[in-house]
Amino acid sequence: MAISYWRRRDRYYRLLGNKCTRCNAEYYPPVYICRRCGSESLIDAEMPGTGKILTYTILREVMSGFEGQQPIIIGIVQLDNGVKVLGQIVDTPIDALKIGCKVRTVFRKIREESSAGQIYYGYKFTVLC
């Protein structure tokens, strides 16, 4: 897990996706071939840090590795450039959650393997309105 995490650290830390140099379509997660125009010429591109909630859920049964974190709020956020991103929503009272809420990215701990194990970090979202 440690190596696969290290490999993607910029994706997780900076929401680094990519962008087609031909048609300017943007992607997160990054793609290998542009879905819109088929170009293979893509460069890394940081996604905007703000967007709005398209849908969300409060997950009460977590999977292995996330024990003790429940409930986890998970949302699909449409960023200001139109790209849809999956992420946890934190620092937000459940009552404040609504489709259409504005959010911004924050840097947070995702999980840790054990009290002495690897700690994984990445982006999450927090509600602005």
Partner 1 sequence: MAKVIVASVGYTRVGDHWDKSILDLAVEASKKALKPYPNIRPEVIIVGNMFSSQSSRQEHLGALLASALNLTRTPAFKVEAACASGGVAFNIAYNKIRSGEVSSALVVGVEKMRDLDTPEASLALSMAESAEYTQFIGASFLSLNAMLARLYSETYNVSRDELSAFPVIAHSNAATAEHAQFRKAISVEDVSRSPLVSDPLRLLDCAPVGDGAAAVLLASDAFDEDDGARVDVLSSKISTNIFSVYERDDMLKFDATRDAASKAFSEAGISVEDVDVLEVHDAFSVTAALSVEAMGFSREGEGAKDAAKGIYALRGRYPALTFGGLKGRGHPVGATGIYQIIELWLQLKGRGNANQVKGCRIGVAQNIGGVDTTSVVSVLARR
CB within 8 Å of 57: residues ≥ 6 apart? 73, 74, 75
Q: Establish if 84 lies at the interface with partner 1 (CB under 8 A).
A: yes
Q: Establish if 65 lies at the interface with partner 1 (CB under 8 A).
A: yes
Q: Establish if 122 lies at the interface with partner 1 (CB under 8 A).
A: yes
The answer to whether the CB of 11 falls within 8 A of the CB of 30 is yes
Q: Establish if 111 lies at the interface with partner 1 (CB under 8 A).
A: yes
Distance CA 77, CA 80 (A): 9
Which residues are at the interface with partner 1 (CB under 8 A)?
4-5, 8, 11-12, 27, 29, 35, 54-67, 69, 72, 74-76, 84-88, 99, 110-111, 120, 122, 124
